[in-house]
A and B are shown apart, each in its own frame.
Chain A
Amino acid sequence: MFNFLINPNQFNKFVDIIFKPLVIIALITLSAGLMLVYLSPLDYQQGLTVKIMYIHVPSAWLALITYAIMTIYSIVGLAFKISFSFIINKAIAPIGAVFTILCLLSGSMWGKPMWGTWWVWDARLTSVAILLIIYLLIIFLNQTFENREVREKTIAIFILIGSVNLPIIKFSVDWWNTLHQPASVSKLSSPSIDISMLQPLLTMTLAFSMIGLIIAILRIKAEILLRKKYL
């Protein structure tokens, strides 16, 4: 049933069915999300500036989720010798990098009016900057090594080493004193964000995921075609 996740032919067949509905869902959620953000109330402390959150938080989550997917595919690819994993790793690394850049830029623009600084070297900001460097190194590694198998294995091992950074990013705000505030949504007690602001946030997250998924599908399909041509 889930063969499309590890088999290129099944993947092609499956995404051909779901691609059009996905585009429609993406358009609907994006327009609904933007509408909800426009209608969302102002924060009691931050006023209008809080609306940067609706870009910042979804891109941060997706940057982490993309890396988590790459980590799982690296484990599967190395342990079970499934070469489709490496196609996915190559295809989605730039997507994660773009989401990380979006997260850093929007965070910087949020930090200037609220904290009074564009950038500080606190644990959360630094670990996300390291995530961006890791993404860039993965992209550059794709240009190295003539031998495809050596290259793919090297990248997969590098992704696994870099995955140590994920829990550090997530828990940096709990483990150390940081300027960045602690988690509002993903914590054990009920979210400390009002429902009228949580709804647009989750809708925007869904919209961002759909856009990321569509770009990922297109890139993976292109990569499969490229491999077929040279194999």
Chain B
Amino acid sequence: MSLRFQRLILILITLVILGVAIILILFNTKQNIVFFYTPTELIENNFAIDKKVRIGGYVKKSSFIKKSLNTYEFKITDNVNELLVFYNGILPDLFREGQGTVIEGFLNNKKNIVASKVYAKHDENYMPESIKKELEKNNQWKKKL
């Protein structure tokens, strides 16, 4: 084997080892890298009440209540467990019932949270409005989701 191919193999092996090391680090610090927890993860794990957490899920259908001009109350769900959210502030444009959302705030207990920030999360589906209407007409819409 010539010297240049020895060097090539050395470089590739080094890269693989480096990659494995980084992957090990990332997967063992997963708890710190995730941006939000789901309501189920919240119940399974123990979180300090006075620590800031972010919880993500869908805004539960017909759970949204507007208390006053800027005060809202709604439930977020991951289709298994749900969490009651109190929020005082401005909601993003995309926020609506059934839409994905991430909220940041302090837990009162495992069932409700006072949010200080609400982010809207959207999925990877892009389509023109006309096609969505077409899909709804043929009852294909729910299947696509």
Task: Classify the interface of chain A: helix, strand, loop or mixed.
Answer: loop
Q: How many residues of A contact B (CB 8 A)?
A: 42
Query: B30 contacts A120, CB within 8 Å?
Result: no
- Point out the residues of chain B lying under 8 angstroms from A22, CB to CB: none
Q: Mark the stretch among A8-16, A192-200, A207-215, A222-230 that contacts chain B.
A: A192-200
Query: Which residues of chain B are near A38, meaning CB under 8 Å?
Result: none
State whether the Cβ of B47 lies closer than 8 Å to any Cβ in chain A. no
Contacting pair B15 A179 (CB below 8 A): no
In the assembled complex, A19 has its CB within 8 A of some CB on chain B: no
Residue contact A181 to B35, C-beta cutoff 8 Å: no
Among listed A27-35, A92-100, A138-146, A159-167, interface-contacting one? A159-167
Which residue on chain B has the smallest CB distance to residue A71? B15
Taking CB as reference atom, which chain B residue is nearest A161?
B18
B52-69 CB mask vs A (1 if < 8 Å, else 0) is 000010000000000000
Q: Which A residues lie within 8 Å of B12 (CB)?
A: 75
Task: Type the 1/0 row for A91-129, where 1 means its CB is closer than 8 Å to any CB of B.
Answer: 000000000000000000000011111001111000000
Q: Which of B4, B7, B125 contacts A193 (CB 8 A)?
A: B125
CA distance A183 to B130 in the complex (A): 23
What 1/0 mask marks residues of chain B from 1 to 34 whose CB sits below 8 Å from any chain A CB? 0001101100110110011001000100010011
User: Given A122-B35, A123-B35, A194-B131, does the pair A115, B120 have CB atoms closer than 8 Å?
Assistant: yes
Top 10 closest pairs, chain A to chain B, by CB: A116-B92, A41-B128, A122-B35, A79-B8, A44-B132, A194-B127, A184-B124, A193-B126, A79-B7, A177-B34
Chain B residues in the interface with A (C-beta under 8 A): 4-5, 7-8, 11-12, 14-15, 18-19, 22, 26, 30, 33-38, 56, 90-95, 102, 117-132
